[in-house]
Structure 1
Amino acid sequence: MSKIIYKTDEEIELIRQSSLLVGKTLAEVAKIVKPGVTTLQMDKIAEEFIRDNGAIPGFKGMYDFPNTLCTSLNEAVVHGIPNNKPLQDGDIISVDCGVLMNDFYGDVAYTFEVGNVNPEVKKLLEVTKECLRRAIEVAIAGNRIGDIGYAVQSYAEENGYGVVRELVGHGLGKNLHEAPEVPNYGRRGNGLTLKEGMVIAIEPMINMGVKNVIQDKDGWTIVTKDRKPSAHFEHDIAIRKGKAEVLSTHEFIEEVLKNKN
Structure 2
Amino acid sequence: MIAIKNEAQIEIMKKSGAILAEIMAELKESVEVGMKTQELEEKAQVLVKKRGVECSFKGYRDYPACLCTSLNEEIVHVPPSGKKIGEGDLFSLDMGIKFKSYHADLAFTVGLKEVPPQASELMEVTREALQESMERVKPGNTLGDVGHIIQRKAEQSGFSVIKELCGHGIGRDIHQAPQVLNVGEPGKGLELEPGMTLCLEPMIAMGKGEVVRTENGHGFKTKDNSLSAHFEHTVLVTEQGYEVLTTAD
Q: What TM-score range do you get, normalising by the shorter chain?
A: over 0.9
Name 2:234's counterpart in structure 1.
236
Name 1:92's counterpart in structure 2.
90
Name 1:9's counterpart in structure 2.
7
What is the TM-score when the length of structure 2 is the normalising length? 0.97
Name 1:188's counterpart in structure 2.
186
SS of 1:138's equivalent?
A: coil
Name 1:37's counterpart in structure 2.
35
Instruction: Name stretches of at least 5 consecutive residues in structure 2 with no aligned partner.
Output: none
Given residue 48 of structure 1, which amino acid in structure 2 is its aligned partner? Answer: V
Residues 1-261 of structure 1 mapped to structure 2, 5 A cutoff: 3-249=1-247
SS of 2:49's equivalent?
A: helix
Q: CA–CA distance in 2 between the matches of 1:170 and 1:190?
A: 17
SS of 1:124's equivalent?
A: helix
Q: CA RMSD in A?
A: 1.1
What is the TM-score when the length of structure 1 is the normalising length? 0.93
Q: CA–CA distance in 2 between the matches of 1:197 and 1:242?
A: 11
Q: CA–CA distance in 2 between the matches of 1:27 and 1:225?
A: 31
SS of 1:116's equivalent?
A: coil
Distance apart, 1:217 and its partner CA: 2.2
Given residue 176 of structure 1, which amino acid in structure 2 is its aligned partner? Answer: I
Identity %: 38
Q: CA–CA distance in 2 between the matches of 1:167 and 1:85?
A: 24
Distance apart, 1:51 and its partner CA: 1.3
Q: C-alpha offsets along residues 94-143 of structure 1, whole Å, 9 cap, x if unaligned?
A: 10000011110010001121122111101100000000001000011100
Distance apart, 1:242 and its partner CA: 2.9
Say how many residue pairs are matched: 249
SS of 1:105's equivalent?
A: strand
**Contact kept? 1:28, 1:45, Cα under 8 Å:** no
Name 1:257's counterpart in structure 2.
none
Distance apart, 1:21 and its partner CA: 1.5
Q: CA–CA distance in 2 between the matches of 1:53 and 1:100?
A: 11
**Contact kept? 1:51, 1:57, Cα under 8 Å:** no
Q: CA–CA distance in 1 between the matches of 2:38 and 2:215?
A: 19
**Contact kept? 1:199, 1:236, Cα under 8 Å:** yes
Q: C-alpha offsets along residues 146-201 of structure 1, whole Å, 9 cap, x if unaligned?
A: 00000100111000111011111111100001111100000000001000110000
Moved >6 Å (runs of 4+): none
Given residue 198 of structure 1, which amino acid in structure 2 is its aligned partner? Answer: M
Distance apart, 1:13 and its partner CA: 1.4
Instruction: Name stretches of at least 5 consecutive residues in structure 1 with no aligned partner.
Output: 253-261
Q: CA–CA distance in 2 between the matches of 1:220 and 1:62?
A: 11
